[in-house]
Amino acid sequence: MSVGLGILLTFGLFLGLLTVGLSVPVAIALPALVLLVIQGGFSSLNSLGFIAWGSMSSFTLTAVPLFILMAEILSVSGLSARIYRGLSKLVSGLPGGLLQTNIAGCAIFSAVSGSSVATAASIGRVALPQLLSRNYARPISAGSLAAGGTLGILIPPSIAMIIYGTFTQTSVPQLFMAGMVPGLLLTLLFMIYIGLHATLFPAVAPREKLSLSLREVMTALGDVSPFAILIAGTLGLLYLGIVTTTEAATIGCILAAILAMIFGNLTIAGLVDAIRSTVLMVGSILFLILAAFLFSAAISFSGIGIEIVNFVVSLELTRIEFFVSLFIIFTVLGCLIESLGMIVITVPLIFPMLGNYGIDPLLFGVVLVLFVELAQITPPMGINLFIIQGIWDGNLGDVVKGAIPFAIIMFLTAGLLVLWPAVALWLPQQMTN
């Protein structure tokens, strides 16, 4: 079978399986199996054991369930409500009121969860009832939470970056450092947009109390302090080079459990629920990774990967044109599949091309995550849109309308990184030095 026919068959079958409603891992794995059998006969399936072992035996992947468990412990213990309460006092006096708290809360929760879904769900459950009860405008309320939740895969620790590092053999701690400045910049831009919007259209956000007593400030700092301890105990030790990514995640789980018992209401039943949710989520992620490694092996065996690389190189795209092409691809994929699915499908195909355009793997990892963030608030498959819509049981159109300005900010931030890579690469370079 020719390479062109192989490409048509593989991606046609993949899209067809998605159309009939099969899950993304199955839609990835079945075309890969078909391609292996067509190219090498049934004897090629003898390699499945090696592929499965190679995909699951990565030490870096052990950090994924630990970071997810840490986020689940924080959620079931009520600590996410505590951080929102504290931040609502510290930043709600800014133009935009509790909308600013949404972004700040998502940013801090992201720094200990690593999951966009966990961030949007945890902060959204706490914030939306308060926002609606105080007559905040529905579109920007929902949009700020959907967009703020995407910070969970950019601000370290990031499950998406761990998986990207696993596929590309890129240093995960350096990826975390590369995502730090863009993540904080994106948080700042979100808050600036909310401030300007609330100033120009005061009806969207009622004015909150501006002055706080010393006692209220100390109480608010006390509500935020558990997260400061958790961030210092995980990311702080990781960036200092004292622990590995997996060790940092282990310390984070232990600290989260201790803090949840001291400052939250963690119970045995809650811990069991957290473990159950973690097992279900990790099982889904690992199945997706296995399917992705199978897909990667199939396109490598058939020569499709090399042909795609040669075709793209023959187009003689400039570096900017290459990134614009990626943006278009991820925008389309974001309408079909969820975020991790995009990463595991595209990275094996795109990563070999980076050397031709002089693109640093760390920079590409950050830009990739930004594109995936955009996809998470891109209808009709943007998962954060559905999470927020499900929490408030409101109109999905309001969520989409509110998320659009934040999507534009993400796109501009990605463009900034492409034009000035030092925004992402400066901190990892300092870490190396």
pLDDT digits (tens, 9 = 90+) for 236-277: 888 777 888 888 889 989 998 998 998 888 889 989 998 998
Mean pLDDT comparison of 34-48, 89-103, 377-391, highest-scoring range: 89-103
Confidence bin at 424 (pLDDT 50/70/90): very high
Residue 323 above 70 pLDDT?
Answer: yes
324 falls in which pLDDT band (50, 70, 90)? confident
Place of tokens 């995407």: 150
- Selected residue with higher pLDDT from 113 and 108: 108
Cβ neighbour number for residue 284 with a 10 Å cutoff: 15
Q: How many residues does the chain have?
A: 433
- The domain limits of the chain are 3-432
Secondary structure of the chain in HEC code, one letter for each residue: CCHHHHHHHHHHHHHHHHHCCCCHHHHHHHHHHHHHHHHHCHHHHHHHHHHHHHHHCCHHHHHHHHHHHHHHHHHHCCHHHHHHHHHHHHHCCCCCCHHHHHHHHHHHHHHHHCCHHHHHHHHHHHHHHHHHHCCCCHHHHHHHHHHHHHHHHCCCCCHHHHHHHHHHCCCHHHHHHHHHHHHHHHHHHHHHHHHHHHHHCHHHCCCCCCCCCHHHHHHHHHHHHHHHHHHHHHHHHHHCCCCCHHHHHHHHHHHHHHHHHHHCCCCHHHHHHHHHHHHHHHHHHHHHHHHHHHHHHHHHHHCHHHHHHHHHHHCCCCHHHHHHHHHHHHHHHHCCCCHHHHHHHHHHHHHHHHHHHCCCHHHHHHHHHHHHHHHHCCCCCCHHHHHHHHHHCCCHHHHHHHHHHHHHHHHHHHHHHHHCCHHHHHHHHHHHC
Q: What pTM was estimated for this model as a whole?
A: 0.81
- Residue 91 to residue 245: CA distance in whole angstroms: 32
pLDDT band at 138 (very low <50, low <70, confident <90, very high): confident
